[in-house]
Amino acid sequence: MAKIAIVGAGQAGLHLGIGLLMSGHRVTMLSNRTGEQIAAGPVTSSQSMYGMALGLERELGIDYWQESSPQYAGAQMRVADSDGNIMLYWQGAMDEPGQSIDQRVKMPVWMDRFVELGGDLRIVDAGIAELEGVAASHDLVVIASGKGEIGSLFQRNPDRSPLTSPQRVLALTYVNRFRPRPGIPAICININPGNGEFVSFPGLTLSGPCEIFTIESIPGGPMDIWADVKTPDEHLAASEHLLRTFFPHEAERIDGHLELTDDKAVLRGRITPTTKYPVATLPSGAKIFGLADVVCLNDPLTGQGSNNASKAAKIYLDAINAHGDAAFDEAWMNAVFEQYWDYARFPVAYTNQTLGQPPEHMLRILKAAETDKELAHIMANSFNDPKSIAPWYYDAASAEQFLSERTVPLQ
Ligand SMILES: Cc1cc2nc3c(=O)[nH]c(=O)nc-3n(C[C@H](O)[C@H](O)[C@H](O)COP(=O)(O)OP(=O)(O)OC[C@H]3O[C@@H](n4cnc5c(N)ncnc54)[C@H](O)[C@@H]3O)c2cc1C
């Protein structure tokens, strides 16, 4: 059995670490925060997760919140202007429900589970010296540090990174006093063309069930009012203002005024979607292997990152288990990442295509889903698996063929 070090106790690192321990490997994990510090810190994500990824957690017995978390078994997309004029609307059922567990709730529990299984958890902000240390004493070093600074050790792959700057200003807010949508609970994607998006779904936070908002503002546009926002109250007021001004249909769900679930329930930032080469070299010449966000970072608009992290961890886990006693060399690392990329290129394309000026064929598909209920069902399930709608969602000629073969019921 191998001796493996993982840097980063997040969605990917802990999933992999727990899986490796359960397979009999020896695992060291370096985390720059204790479980208590994570629980007491700010929110980090909206972390909407779907059937496939949740199933991988279930396989490891770490889906502890199946009963206690709100679930949503639908997706809704509305494109409308600030006056509420609707240009496009569809809703569809997901075959398996999604859920969102605040990472401040989830990661401390997973860290405890990691230690309970015999994992060696070390609290340290890993830099080059710590990486050299674990590289010398372990068979494999996996970096799962998310957006952390050590990610700069890995080089951007320009062929897989079509975007070179942030496409949105992100604002994450966990709230109470937002009424459930009519009908089944669903992930609600609202697009105000040229301005930005508002995405919401129910989640489980420190205080219990809540509603989680991600507001995505086009940089420099009318929704980009975040520069002067400093305090949680200002953030909440800005969120409510944007909702009322740009997404009047969703604003109808506000029950009086929105309330934050806690004073750390806000986050603002920008992400440049980037895919990197998966192997980096330390000054000693030792190779380290990147996992999830550190080497494949997406804008959260389509809610793929945590799902990708879980799916990547599963691929790495299976590859390590299948490896036997051979060395974990650079060729092996590249081959395992290619296996992941064979899937990840779809969520990357899914997200980037939604961030940019949508191609004509994509608009036609989404429009068709208004009347074609089975297509709406397929699109609702695409959050779970963006590969399932290849090639037609990603390619104009295939889309033409796909749409021509569908029988859309007459209105
Ligand atoms: C606003 C927002 C909304 C999002 N919404 C969704 C969504 O709805 N659905 C979805 O699937 N994804 C979503 N994501 C993305 C998702 O949160 C990430 O893709 C996912 O958490 C990545 O997991 P990870 O394990 O790679 O990294 P992380 O979760 O970032 O974990 C990395 C860990 O490593 C630690 N670390 C960093 N550097 C070091 C170091 N030097 N030494 C030791 N430890 C270190 C960090 O503190 C952290 O604990 C969202 C992201 C954002 C920003």
Q: Convert the pLDDT of each residue in 56-109 to its tens digit.
A: 999 999 999 999 999 999 999 999 999 999 999 999 999 999 999 999 999 999
Same domain, 46 and 121: yes
Judge whether residue 12 has pLDDT over 70: yes
Residues 380 and 399 in one domain: yes
Q: 123 and 38 in contact (C-beta within 8 Å)? A: no
CA 11 to ligand 1 center in whole angstroms: 7
- Whichever domain contains 288, its CATH number is 3.50.50.60
How far is Cα 402 from Cα 372, in angstroms, rounded to an integer? 13
Domain membership of residue 212 (yes or no) is: yes
Asked if residue 149 is part of any domain, the answer here is yes
Are residue 50 and residue 96 in the same domain, yes or no? no
Answer yes or no: is 411 within a domain.
Answer: no
42 and 137 belong to one structural domain = yes
Query: How much is the pLDDT for 411?
Result: 46
Amino acid at 59: E
The predicted structure's pLDDT at residue 148: 87
Q: Are residues 22 and 149 in the same domain?
A: yes
Ligand 1 geometric centre to CA of 9 (Å): 9
Domain around 248? 72-100+167-269
- Are residues 77 and 128 both part of a single domain? no
Q: Angle at the Cα of 246 (from 258 to 225), degrees rounded to 5? A: 80
Q: Examine the domain organization and report whether 29 and 126 are in the same domain.
A: yes
10 Å CB burial of residue 24 (0-12, 13-18, 19+) is exposed
The answer for residues whose C-beta is within 8 angstroms of residue 307's C-beta and 6 or more apart is: 49, 50, 52, 53, 347, 384
Q: Which atom of ligand 1 is nearest to the CA of 8?
A: 34
Share of the chain above pLDDT 90, in %: 97
Q: Can you tell me the mean pLDDT for 211-230?
A: 97
Q: CA torsion sign, 25 to 141 to 327 to 156?
A: positive
Provide the number of structural domains found in the chain: 3
For residue range 310-340, list pLDDT tens digits in order: 999 999 999 999 998 889 999 999 999 999 9
Contact call for residues 160 and 295 (beta carbons, < 8 A)? no
The domain boundary residue, chosen from 269, 295, 327? 269
Co-location of 225 and 262 in the same domain:
yes
The DSSP-derived string for 329-345 is -HHHHHHHHHHHHHHHH
Show which of 329, 354, 379 is a domain's final residue: 354
**Do 224 and 368 fall within a single domain?**
no
Q: Look at residue 365 and tell me if it is in a domain.
A: yes
Give residues (CB < 6 A) around ligand 1.
7-13, 30-33, 45-49, 125-126, 144-148, 150, 170, 172, 214, 267, 292-293, 300, 303-307, 309
Taking CA atoms only, the protein residue closest to ligand 1 atom 52 is 45
**Interatomic CA distance for residues 121 and 141, integer angstroms:** 14
The domain boundary residue, chosen from 269, 304, 330: 269
